[in-house]
Copies of this chain bind each other. A is one copy, B any other.
Amino acid sequence: MSVAVENFVKAIYNNDKHDIKDTKPGNIAKKLGISNAAATDMAKKLAARDLLNYEKYQELQLTDKGVKMALNVIRKHRLWEAFLFKMFDMSLHDIHREAELLEHQTSDLLAEKISAYLGHPKFDPHGDPIPNANGEITTKDTSISLSEAMEGKTYTIARLMSDDKEFFEFCTQNGIKYRNTLTITKQFSGNKMTQILVGTNTIVLNEDFTKNIYVEEH
């Protein structure tokens, strides 16, 4: 299974989970930074390998086999994140970047060794759940996007979902991290801007940032 295939399957899986459901080739292409034509092409090839269902102009749907592959890669990614986070003093963004590469070159054996070393953690440093060796996520996710949360309420940060370096730098600088607490002090004009309180810091976020922050009721 090549890097391109693993990334394609992973992109569909992640998109399916977290975006406004749009798994058509164009949207996957955008996530992967490839052309629409390349994505359509790949979709056809993966359909032939029973990793996804493809019908012209329709959404791409992973088969069980495709989901299994995605979860296997995601497991390795998140284990690497947890491991690097524990071992080395590196930014969340740098850790993410390393994991993005290492995930494709990690045997199931090594993944298991890392998992055991960490005490089989259920979450990575962003708060994302780590699938077990069978590709099952045993924790249930009750988190909501901060852009959908309610003014006046206090939440626990459940996940930080982003590939963007600036987002993580911003979070680090402002105490926005996994398991910290925040309160929504004010929402402006249809949730386009959100004012939050983290520790003693009052911060105003726009939607580009709030949509990446997932929280749970306190």
**Is the contact region of chain A dominated by helix, strand, or loop, or is it mixed?**
helix
| Contact among B89, B102, B109, B113 with A102 in the assembled complex (CB-CB below 8 Å) | B102
CB contact between A117 and one of B88, B101, B107 (< 8 Å): that residue: B88
Q: Which of A89-133 contact B (CB under 8 A)?
A: 89-90, 94, 97-98, 101-102, 104-107, 109-110, 113-114, 117
Looking across the interface, which residue of chain B has its beta carbon closest to that of A97?
B107
Copies of this subunit: 2
Cα distance A97–B107 in the bound complex, in angstroms: 9
- 14 cross-chain CB contacts under 8 A: A87-B113, A87-B117, A88-B114, A88-B117, A89-B113, A94-B109, A98-B106, A98-B107, A101-B105, A102-B102, A102-B105, A102-B106, A104-B105, A105-B105
Interface residues of A (CB under 8 A from B): 84, 87-90, 94, 97-98, 101-102, 104-107, 109-110, 113-114, 117
